[in-house]
């Protein structure tokens, strides 16, 4: 009996993005399979964040083709797969005027998620006692934990980490590592971007991007 080939979660061929005459990402070929933890290293300004935004389906390529969960990036197809993608970026994606609990409730309502999971998720990240604190009054560490809580609530199959471990204490870094293991154990994949090689040590493979060009 012939086994079916495993379909990649992400498949890019010749993808590029140019702004003001500069190639931010140039002729990128990339495939990411279920169960992978792919690291992407490179100096500041090399195209790491641009590439991650393409994988997140938040940016339309100027050339080339790409799919994420089978949906073609740059088309309306991506709206059907975005709930399967979780992003932890440079700055926490939170509404400052809302409390930490209200931010999670907002995410749950938008994505039609089980709101009864909010309290257990806050307990998991150590924020049960700070649930009613407004984000603007929370420390950066608390804000980062709240963002991790949002990701746990959504339970994505593709996790994108953009310098997510920078500036975190050891306990918070452990939450990122546990989140990575959870996604992979469920057949998902993780892409982690960092200029610090120490943050890429647990990856199954590490790629380097220089001046928009991706290489092994």
Full domain range(s) for residue 76: 10-215
Instruction: Count up the domains in the chain and report the number.
Output: 1
The 3-state DSSP class for residue 120 equals helix
Structure tokens at 73: 């990036």
pLDDT in tens, 27-51: 999 999 999 999 999 998 999 999 9
Q: Which residues of 131-170 are buried (b: 16+ CB within 10 A; e: fewer)?
A: bebebeebeeebbbbbbbbbbbbbbbbbbbbbbbbeebee
Q: Are 11 and 67 in contact (CB under 8 A)?
A: yes
If one counts every other C-beta atom within 10 angstroms of the C-beta of residue 6, the result is 10
Assess if residue 43 is contained within a domain. yes
Output the pLDDT for position 198. 84
Task: Return the DSSP state at 166.
Answer: T
Collect the ranges in the chain with pLDDT lower than 50.
1, 3
Assess if residue 2 is contained within a domain. no
Assess if residue 79 is contained within a domain. yes
CA 196 to CA 133: how far, in whole Å?
32
Output the pLDDT for position 41. 95
Assess if residue 84 is contained within a domain. yes
Q: Are 45 and 209 in contact (CB under 8 A)?
A: no
Output the pLDDT for position 22. 92
Output the pLDDT for position 46. 93
Output the pLDDT for position 167. 67
CATH of the domain at 197: 3.40.50.300
Assess if residue 201 is contained within a domain. yes
CA 181 to CA 209: how far, in whole Å?
25
Output the pLDDT for position 5. 61
Assess if residue 34 is contained within a domain. yes
Q: How many H helices and E strands in the chain?
A: 5, 10
Assess if residue 49 is contained within a domain. yes
Assess if residue 121 is contained within a domain. yes
CA 69 to CA 161: how far, in whole Å?
18
Whether the CA torsion 76, 155, 34, 1 is positive or negative: it is negative
């Amino acid at each position: 009996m012939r086994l079916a080939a495993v379909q990649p979660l992400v498949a890019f061929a010749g993808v590029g993005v140019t702004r003001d005459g500069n190639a931010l990402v140039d002729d990128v070929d990339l495939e990411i399979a279920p169960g992978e933890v792919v690291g992407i290293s490179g100096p500041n300004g090399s195209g790491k964040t641009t590439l991650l935004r393409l994988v997140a389906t938040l940016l339309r390529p100027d050339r080339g083709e790409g799919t994420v969960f089978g949906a073609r990036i740059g088309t309306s197809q991506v709206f059907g797969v975005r709930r399967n993608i979780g992003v932890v970026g440079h700055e926490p994606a939170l509404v400052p005027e809302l409390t930490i609990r209200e931010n999670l409730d907002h995410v749950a309502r938008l994505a039609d998620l089980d709101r009864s999971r909010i309290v257990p998720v806050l307990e998991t990240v150590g924020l049960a006692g700070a649930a009613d604190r407004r984000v603007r009054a929370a420390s950066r560490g608390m804000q980062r934990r709240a963002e991790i809580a949002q990701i746990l609530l959504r339970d994505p199959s593709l996790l994108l980490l953009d310098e997510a471990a920078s500036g975190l204490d050891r306990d918070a870094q452990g939450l990122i590592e546990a989140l990575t293991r959870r996604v992979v154990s469920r057949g998902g994949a993780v892409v982690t971007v960092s200029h610090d090689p120490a943050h890429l040590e647990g990856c199954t493979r590490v790629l380097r991007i220089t001046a928009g060009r991706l290489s092994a």
